[in-house]
Structure 1
Amino acid sequence: MARPSLREKLASSAVDTLHTLGFKGCSIQDITDAAGVPKGSFFNHFENKEDLAIDALRRYLEGSRPDMLFDESVPPLERLKNHFTFLSERLIANGFERGCMLGLFSAEMAREYPRMRQELREVFDRWCSGVEQLLRDAQAKGEVDPRHDAGQLARFLVNSWEGATIRLRITQDRQPIDDFLNVAFKALLK
């Protein structure tokens, strides 16, 4: 098997390092140390820390399994629940130390880093659009009340999820996740 390139080492270690320490709490030195590469090699592969953070965000999202929303062999609401359950399991596996990287970068970077803000806007728009389409499918199948505005409901679910992921870093338990899942699937989308 081929050894990973220095760029790949930097990029893959940045996902964990940035997710654990945050953008502002993490230095380039922290990232190069985690990658086991010389600090000077960083700028051979990334223009700046924001470029690396955008790359890390994209890698993080690949592991978020957005494809689960589009598996038409599964009923729409079950797909949605499976999606959020998968995301929940990732948070639990990390011991509630890390929330969602989207929320973390939104809080830390959106104001000062316009390229990251645009990247985050696009990610949230794609996520909300996917959830919206799934909710429209559920409405067409009679699983969700058709009087709900699917777009607004999708944005509400994504926003509520992000709030829960922030809160669990404080509570250090699964209560915010359980609250989200119970309200979303037992009250709102029943």
Structure 2
Amino acid sequence: MQKITQKQTKRENLLNKGVSLLMVQGFHGTGLKEILDAVQIPKGSFYSYFGSKEDFAAASITHYIAIYVERLQSYLEQSEGNALGAMERYVQETMRELEAIEFKGGCLLGNLMGEIGDTSGVCRMALKTALDCYRDAWELALSCAQREGSIRADKSAREMADLWINAWQGALLRMKIEHSTVPLKQCYDELLGGLFKA
């Protein structure tokens, strides 16, 4: 078993706090001092972890999406033979979490795509990689469901995964302004419960 160093723990703490603050305050509204103070790391030490604030935001994006990809994969592993059910449980859990925090934040990817997606090359690439990774997880889930016969086979799993990501991101943005999971439920009902079904 690999030993986790104190530096790795501090880096993890920085990323966890960074995700929380970036989600609510955005890139420009979040100061490095605020993050460092929250995890009790001296300001001068920041650059031993990240080369710049943009590098930090890019690492936060990667850190953020890994959690959601792992969760979807975990549901798939626990639901052998019922990939559609795994996807449904994943979406329902996500909606419950968003309701519990009263829709604050939404999705870090969507928030940062709108704020800095076209102004920071480093963050744009991290966002693209994160979206591709998330899309690939959905493609795998959808292809499993296709093999099981619960998802239509006349469209590729990749096409449907792309459509899901596009629609879900838009629904998350609407959720933020409407303070309601209705847009998410519509996305879920129309795609997983409708268009995608066999």
TM range (shorter): 0.7 to 0.9
The 3 A distance-change label for structure 1 pair 126 and 63 is closer
Following TM superposition, by how much is the alpha carbon of 1:3 offset from its aligned partner in structure 2, in angstroms?
Answer: 7.4
| Counterpart residue number, 1:42 | 46
Which contiguous aligned blocks of 4+ residues in structure 1 show a shift greater than 4 angstroms?
2-6
Could you tell me which of 55, 63, 73 is aligned with 1:67? 73
Could you tell me which of 176, 187, 190 is aligned with 2:194? 187
Following TM superposition, by how much is the alpha carbon of 1:143 offset from its aligned partner in structure 2, in angstroms?
Answer: 1.2
The 3 A distance-change label for structure 1 pair 98 and 29 is same
Q: What stretches of structure 1 of length at least 5 have no aligned partner?
A: none
| Counterpart residue number, 2:91 | 84
Following TM superposition, by how much is the alpha carbon of 1:74 offset from its aligned partner in structure 2, in angstroms?
Answer: 4.6
Q: Does 1:178 align with 2:182?
A: no
Q: Give the structure-2-normalised TM-score.
A: 0.83
Q: Does 1:20 align with 2:49?
A: no
| Counterpart residue number, 2:165 | 158
Identity of aligned residues (%): 27
Contact kept? 1:13, 1:34, Cα under 8 Å: yes
| Counterpart residue number, 1:56 | 60
1:54 maps to amino acid: A
Q: What stretches of structure 2 of length at least 5 have no aligned partner?
A: none
Aligned residues: 189
The alignment yields a C-alpha RMSD, in angstroms, of 2.3
Superposition pairs for residues 59-138 of structure 1, below 5 Å?
59-64=63-68, 65-68=71-74, 70-71=76-77, 73-138=80-145
The 3 A distance-change label for structure 1 pair 69 and 156 is farther
Q: Give the structure-1-normalised TM-score.
A: 0.86
Mapped to 1, the partners of 2:181 and 2:27 lie a distance apart of 25
Q: Does 1:33 align with 2:37?
A: yes
3-state SS, counterpart of residue 29 of structure 2: coil
